[in-house]
Amino acid sequence: DAKTTQPPSMDCAEGRAANLPCNHSTISGNEYVYWYRQIHSQGPQYIIHGLKNNETNEMASLIITEDRKSSTLILPHATLRDTAVYYCIVRVLSGNQFYFGTGTSLTVIP
Amino acid sequence: GAGVSQSPSNKVTEKGKDVELRCDPISGHTALYWYRQSLGQGLEFLIYFQGNSAPDKSGLPSDRFSAERTGGSVSTLTIQRTQQEDSAVYLCASSPGTSYNEQFFGPGTRLTVL
């Protein structure tokens, strides 16, 4: 399984863009990068996923480097409700398991 | 529509007792997952069910842990002879199938073993 490395914590000013990095240097060619977040005392929530190309949806943007060894989740205008733990996950194809690491605890500051 | 539900929301038990945790997935979802989250930690995969296939039990930490899924719907996670290190939040998730990208999580069951 490809492992991911994320900084344990980050702060971001409200209204500014939050850029959350993730390293996945051992990712295989057919493995996707997924991002989930977990707000305190709730179950994780899907945000976005991608394979090679950059992706954007109503929640966030995902930038994947050309060599696919790292990616960045971008929350374009962070709000206080975006305070959560953000998990970067590389999907294991067999069994459809999702391996969550310890994630990045993002705190949005007023 | 209704999301994934789990019961009980909280469970306090004494060391050595058995506990059963229940998960009701979203109707029609064929894939079901159990995870464990200890305090301040990430999610630890436990077990995965997909349709009528044999479950992937590779994440179960010991033979005290077992899970079943009856009729392809409701799932029960059983922990026998609970230990204090079993204290954690147990999360269930479901998805429409193995090729689906998003897992839908329930609110979890907080288990405390005294």
Task: Give residues 6 to 65 of B whose Cβ lies within 8 Å of A.
Answer: 31, 33, 35, 41-45, 48, 50, 56, 58-59
Q: How far is residue B83's CA from residue B16's CA, in Å, rounded to a whole number? A: 6
End-to-end CA distance of chain A: 38
Best interface-test mutation with A: which of B34, B43, B92, B110 has the largest number of A CBs within 10 A?
A: B43
Q: Is A41 exposed, middle or buried (0-12, 13-18, 19+ CB in 10 A)?
A: exposed
Under 8 Å CB-to-CB from A52, ≥6 apart: which residues?
Answer: A64, A68
Answer for the pair B4, B75: CB distance below 8 angstroms, yes or no: no
Q: Which residues of A touch B99 (CB under 8 A)?
A: 96
pLDDT number for residue A94: 52
Beta-strand relationship, A45-50 and A33-38 = antiparallel
pLDDT value at position A55?
Answer: 95
- DSSP structure class, residue B56: B
Question: Cβ of B71: how many Cβ atoms within 10 Å?
Answer: 5
Q: Can you give the pLDDT at residue A64?
A: 96
pLDDT at A84: 97
pLDDT of residue B52: 82
Residue B43: per-residue pLDDT: 87
| Nearest chain B Cα distance for residue A106, angstroms | 14
**Quick check: A84 and A38 in contact, CB under 8 A?**
yes
Rounded to whole angstroms, how far apart are CA atoms A13 and A10?
A: 10
* CB-based contact A107:A7 (threshold 8 Å): no
Return the residue matching tokens 């702060």. Answer: A11
From first to last of its 114 residues, chain B has per-residue pLDDT tens of 589 999 999 999 999 999 999 999 999 898 999 999 998 788 888 999 988 888 888 889 999 999 999 887 999 999 999 999 999 999 999 988 766 678 899 999 999 999
**What pLDDT score does A1 carry?**
56
Q: Hey, what amino acid is at B52?
A: N
Of A42, A97, A103, the CB nearest to B42: A103
Q: Which of B35, B98, B108 sits opposite A96 (nearest CB)?
A: B98
Cβ-defined contact of A44 to B42 (cutoff 8 Å): no
Closest in B31, B43, B44 to A96, CB measured: B31
Q: What is the pLDDT of residue A90?
A: 87
What pLDDT was estimated at residue B41?
Answer: 82
pLDDT at residue A30 in the model: 83
Do residue B105 and residue A43 have CB atoms under 8 angstroms apart? Answer: yes
- Measured CA to CA, the distance from residue B94 to residue B102 in angstroms comes to 9
Count of A-B CB contacts under 8 Å: 53
Cβ contact (<8 Å) for B42 and A100? yes
Tell me the backbone φ, ψ of residue B54, rounded to 5 degrees. -65, 135
pLDDT at B39: 86
Alpha-carbon distance B7 to nearest alpha carbon in chain A (angstroms): 14
Which residue positions in chain A have pLDDT lower than 50?
none
